[in-house]
Amino acid sequence: MHEKEIELKIRELPEDLRREVLDYMEFLLKKYKDKENKTREFKFDWEGGLSELREKFTSVRLQHIALEWR
């Protein structure tokens, strides 16, 4: 659909529905902008989150515990 077609359709709507269309457009823009940002960046903010447990568990021990849970 072309921009002019969209504009014509919007003009046909009553004022209260135009506001709904605008709200929905803003929702879609935010939704997909957030989605793009999430797929572009990989954050390591979790890194080191369990460092205090390093002395208690080895990676092998954690693998065994995970297998027990399954």
* Tokens linked to 63: 């693998």
User: Where in the chain are the domains?
Assistant: 1-40
Q: Is the dihedral of CA 40, 45, 46, 48 positive or negative?
A: positive
Place of tokens 């999430």: 38
Q: What is the DSSP letter of 58?
A: -
Per residue in 9-31, pLDDT (tens digit) is: 999 999 999 999 999 999 999 98
**Chain center to CA of 29:** 12
Q: Does the pLDDT of residue 49 top 90, yes or no?
A: no
Label residue 46 by pLDDT band (50, 70, 90): confident
Chain mean pLDDT for the chain = 86
Q: What pTM does this model have? A: 0.45
Half-sphere exposure (Cβ direction) of 63: Cα atoms closer than 13 Å: 3
